[in-house]
Amino acid sequence: MNRNLVETSTVSDSRPRRAARALKHGAALVLLATLAACSGGGGPGVTVNQPAAVSGVSSYTGPAAQNADVLAFQLNLWVNISPANRCGGCHHAGGQSPMFARSDDVNLAYQAALPLVNLTNPSQSMLVQKVGSGHNCWVADPSACAATMLVWIQNWIGSGSSSTSSILLEAPPVQAAGGGKQFPASATSGNPSFATSIYPLLQTFCSGCHSDSSLTPQQPYFASSDVNAAYIAAQPKINLQTPNLSRFYQRLADDMHHCWATPSSNGAPDCPGSAAAMLAQLTAFANGIPITPIDPTLVVSNALTLAQGTIAAGGSRYDANAIAIYMFETGQGSTAYDTSGVTPEADLELSGNVTWVGGWGISVGAGGKAQASTSASSKFASMIQGSGEYSIEAWLAPANVTQTNAYAVSYSGSNTTRDMTLAQAAMQYQGMTRSSVTDTNGMPALTTTTADGAAQAALQHVVLTYDPVNGQRIYVNGVWTGDKDTSGGGSLANWDSTFALVLGNEVTGQRQWQGVIKFAAIHNRALTAAQIQQNFAAGVGQKYYLLFGVSSLTGMAQSYILFTASQYDNYSYLFAQPKFISLDKTATVPGGLQLSGIRLGVNGALVPAGQAFTTVATTLGGANYTAANGQLLSSLGTVVPVTLGPSADLFFLSFDQLGSHVHAWVDPPVTVAPPTADNTPQPDFGIATFERVNRSLAKITGVPITNSAVNAQYQTTQQSMPASALISAFVAPNQTAMGQLANTYCAQLLANASYRDAFFGSGLDASLNSSAASFFSSAGNRAIVANALVSNAVGSGVSPQTATAVTGEVDNLLQLVPTLSGYGNATVSTATQAACAATLGSAAVMLQ
């Protein structure tokens, strides 16, 4: 492997400012002494961020630090690593070399430590890398030790600086994109399938914990009784390309995690035997999956995995006053470590429905929370009361924007007692702080405005600050929401130090917040707007620079397409801002080098969704290209799905054109099946809708729609009549409303001689108030009404069956009305109106 180093782009990073830092700490000690003298024992004690350092320094009896930088080393790093349970256990005076943790002379320890610290890029320091690899890490998670060690080193060399440094891009190994293996579609696919190979081992030996039905359920549930759920959960733990790199195997072989007895072990746990059994099944499963060959016509780059990229140092954060930091790097187990370096570490115990999220983070579901012990949490009360200020900072992705009373970060004792809380209330964020101007529940709360819609179901940087002047302020994505705390600021002297820090819930478990937390920090200062903006700009999670080799396509030495990439969440990667660049600063871009259509591929296949660079089309070189920064191809980013998992997914790029290499992209042909006919018989008729009813009645009766009585009735019943002609949607209230309107029209028809005569002729005029019983005893008189109704409502010569039916019904009705109880004296007008309304409100008119 040929690895070249070259300085290329620049990013913001921290730089040593030792002298200034030392002076600052010296000043802090003086201030501490002054404040202690003034406190007089009353009120809360005043504490600086590193209480362990103070006690350690006080017990040191060797020669004094020779200069400010040695003092800074002593205060920030040496005091933390010199105890016997850390580096001092071996690297002490007369012990194992180098003796950077010796306690006899801090100046000698300083000299020994200098070679172990990378002042340009502290994260690359030997001290960080050693503990990060598991070397004498004092907690269970080496990444937590590394993060903590990094904080101590940064505190020593000065993390407050905002100067910039260069990132060294390292050429990745040359790998052909080749083909790759893809997980079969289902748990029962493949030969052997997951269900018949790996799953039986998991279910037999791992279901005691890694199953949702376990008494002590622990995510991921790859031993679930539901094989399909288990399959999905197991995929990230299986490396199809290299089975012995599978997590399932490594946990048994290397970590000796929950090994089981084998036939040859006489009942004792047999880790080699267990690991071999697991590896056999992993290998069988992987061997049964054919390699998906890459399309040979594609124009492709070299390939690499995420881990083969150059780690991006990230923007510099402002953490000078951080008293707890949770980066959620661990990725497994039930503890999220506080890597602030400030003791006591307020590590979070994950309980209930809390799962780790790829790319650093935890996902809190219903019933989940992450809580620190009350003893460790007491540092928040003591340190924040001392400063009178605080900030809660978090990268949150709320699961939804409907949850209310949802406490994302809280330092509290119950549903009604708290010191500080950052909460979500639908699309609003809330801050609650106990102070001299609020109650013990932090009320009244500060709530962002509804119109602002501050909370979104997307990853957001949220900061709640508190200071004695402004009270609480909430910043979202680096910007103050503008909502002022009407309570203002006050004293925090009434804080309760017996509370616990809890994320994703209240300590009672009754204020559930659901979503993803990718970072959280507590500061004992109110971060300034500039500091918040700085931390927002620094982003969250681990990022990589991925260099996709294209030298063979461009003819330009050490040329690459550079992507900034990271694991975005459990299910996707982020690829952003591709650049064309050469690590050979002397190389020149060939003239007229065309690039178009970049497509991302993984494991031999182009990703099916999320291709955002297919429209890139540019000529490389010229004024757009510089040897130092390359040439930006797109300012966009996109997310593409995780396939085999972050450790195994092998990425490559495909191009429509790069130089003389062309692959004319043609969208795969898509055959759209014509809609399937449904020949189920449908009604051939429908109901007259509201305005059709009104207009029909007007046309039949001659009463205009502007008639005040019918218009009033129409306005009243309009929306009770059918809005759709569908007979299947017709309901009884429709019929009632139509009948009422028909009745009104008929009333107006009979009340107005002009309308009435035009409709019935004059045969009724003289008898309107006569007895219906008498008048309609005559068939001829009944025919006056019946014939008029049939003629006008049904039509002449139309639907004889309908006409006959209506005639018969009307004839019967006119005779029936006077016989009804209470209607013995019904008049001709009344009976005629009833017959009219019955006809006009019937299917003869309303059915179309």
Partner 1 sequence: MNVRTNTAQVHARRARHLALAGSIVLLTQLALPAHAGPNEQAKRIYERLAGVPPSAAVLAQMANIINTGCGGSCQPGDPSLVSAAAIATAASTAPTFYNVTLKNWVIPWTNRDQTVFAPLNDYAATVIGMVRDDVPFNTALSADILYTVNSGGLPAPSNASNSHYATAEANGVDLSSALKQTTQSGTYGTPTAATAGLLTTYAAEAAFFINGTNRAMFRFTMINHFCNDMQTLEDTTRPTDRIRQDVARSPGGDSRVYLNTCVGCHSGMDPMAQAFAYYNFNGTVGAVMNTGTMQYTSGQVQPKYLINSSNFSYGFVTPDDSWSNRWRTGINAALGWSPSLPGSGSGAKSLGQELESATAFASCQVTKAFQAVCFRAPVSTTDMATVASITSNFQSGGYKLKQVFQQVAAACPGQ
Q: Per CB under 8 A, which of residues 706..745 are in contact with partner 1? A: 706, 718-719, 723, 725-727, 735-736, 739-740, 742-743
| C-beta of 76 vs 534, nearer to partner 1 | 534
* DSSP letters for 621-660: SGGG-BTTTBEE--S-EEEEE-SS-TTT-EEEEEEEEETT
| C-beta of 73 vs 328, nearer to partner 1 | 328
Structure tokens at 260: 């089981």
Q: Which of 692, 757, 763, 811 binds partner 1 (CB under 8 A)?
A: 692
| C-beta of 303 vs 516, nearer to partner 1 | 516
**Distance in Å, CB of 207 to partner 1, minimum:** 26
Q: Could you say which residues in the range 383-402 bind partner 1, by CB under 8 A?
A: 397-400
406-412 and 500-503 as β-strands: parallel, antiparallel, unpaired? antiparallel
Peptide bond into 674 cis (omega under 30): no
Q: Could you say which residues in the range 344-373 bind partner 1, by CB under 8 A?
A: 357, 361, 363
Q: Which of 576, 627, 662, 758 binds partner 1 (CB under 8 A)?
A: 576
Q: Which of 9, 308, 382, 477 binds partner 1 (CB under 8 A)?
A: 477
Q: Which of 182, 417, 634, 647 binds partner 1 (CB under 8 A)?
A: 634
Q: Which residues pair with 153 in a beta bridge?
A: none
Q: Which of 688, 764, 784, 788 binds partner 1 (CB under 8 A)?
A: 688
**Distance in Å, CB of 504 to partner 1, minimum:** 12
310-311 and 543-549 as β-strands: parallel, antiparallel, unpaired? antiparallel
Q: Could you say which residues in the range 434-473 bind partner 1, by CB under 8 A?
A: 456-461
CB 459 within 8 A of CB 516: yes
Q: Which of 114, 272, 695, 762 binds partner 1 (CB under 8 A)?
A: 695
CB 300 within 8 A of CB 294: yes
Q: Which of 672, 708, 754, 780 binds partner 1 (CB under 8 A)?
A: 672
759: three-class secondary structure by DSSP: helix
572-582 and 559-569 as β-strands: parallel, antiparallel, unpaired? antiparallel
Residue 214, number of CB atoms within 10 A of its CB: 16
Site track 816-835 with partner 1 (rule: CB under 8 A), x = hit: -x--x-xx-xxx-xx--xxx
Q: Is 689 in the site for partner 1 (CB under 8 A)?
A: yes
CB 101 within 8 A of CB 129: no
493 closest CA partner among 436, 437, 440, 411? 436
**Distance in Å, CB of 335 to partner 1, minimum:** 21
Q: Could you say which residues in the range 604-623 bind partner 1, by CB under 8 A?
A: 608-615
**Distance in Å, CB of 809 to partner 1, minimum:** 5
152 closest CA partner among 21, 292, 295, 311? 21
Task: Write the DSSP symbol of residue 140.
Answer: S
Q: Is 542 in the site for partner 1 (CB under 8 A)?
A: no
Q: Is 117 in the site for partner 1 (CB under 8 A)?
A: no
CB 438 within 8 A of CB 495: no
Q: Could you say which residues in the range 232-291 bind partner 1, by CB under 8 A?
A: none
| C-beta of 215 vs 666, nearer to partner 1 | 666
Residue 578, number of CB atoms within 10 A of its CB: 28
Residue 753, number of CB atoms within 10 A of its CB: 12
Peptide bond into 142 cis (omega under 30): no
C-alpha separations of 204 from 188, 209, 218, 225, 261 in Å = 18, 11, 16, 11, 12
| C-beta of 256 vs 820, nearer to partner 1 | 820
Q: Is 705 in the site for partner 1 (CB under 8 A)?
A: yes
Q: Could you say which residues in the range 792-821 bind partner 1, by CB under 8 A?
A: 793, 795-799, 801-802, 805-806, 809, 813, 817, 820
Stretch that binds partner 1, among 72-80, 411-419, 696-704, 753-761 (CB under 8 A): 696-704
**Distance in Å, CB of 376 to partner 1, minimum:** 27
Structure tokens at 370: 């992450």
Structure tokens at 269: 């746990």
Q: Which of 2, 61, 635, 708 binds partner 1 (CB under 8 A)?
A: 635
Q: Could you say which residues in the range 195-214 bind partner 1, by CB under 8 A?
A: none
| C-beta of 411 vs 759, nearer to partner 1 | 759
**Distance in Å, CB of 247 to partner 1, minimum:** 21
H runs (alpha helix) in 508-650? 529-538, 551-554
Residue 457, number of CB atoms within 10 A of its CB: 14
H runs (alpha helix) in 87-141? 106-113, 126-132
SS (H, E, C) 51-100: HHHHHHHHHCCCCCCCCHHHHHHHHHHHHHHCCCCCHHHCCCCCCCCCCC
Q: Is 753 in the site for partner 1 (CB under 8 A)?
A: no
Stretch that binds partner 1, among 92-100, 178-186, 462-470, 566-574 (CB under 8 A): 566-574
C-alpha separations of 249 from 217, 252, 273 in Å = 21, 5, 11
Q: Which of 571, 585, 626, 765 binds partner 1 (CB under 8 A)?
A: 571
- # of chain residues touching partner 1 (CB under 8 A): 114
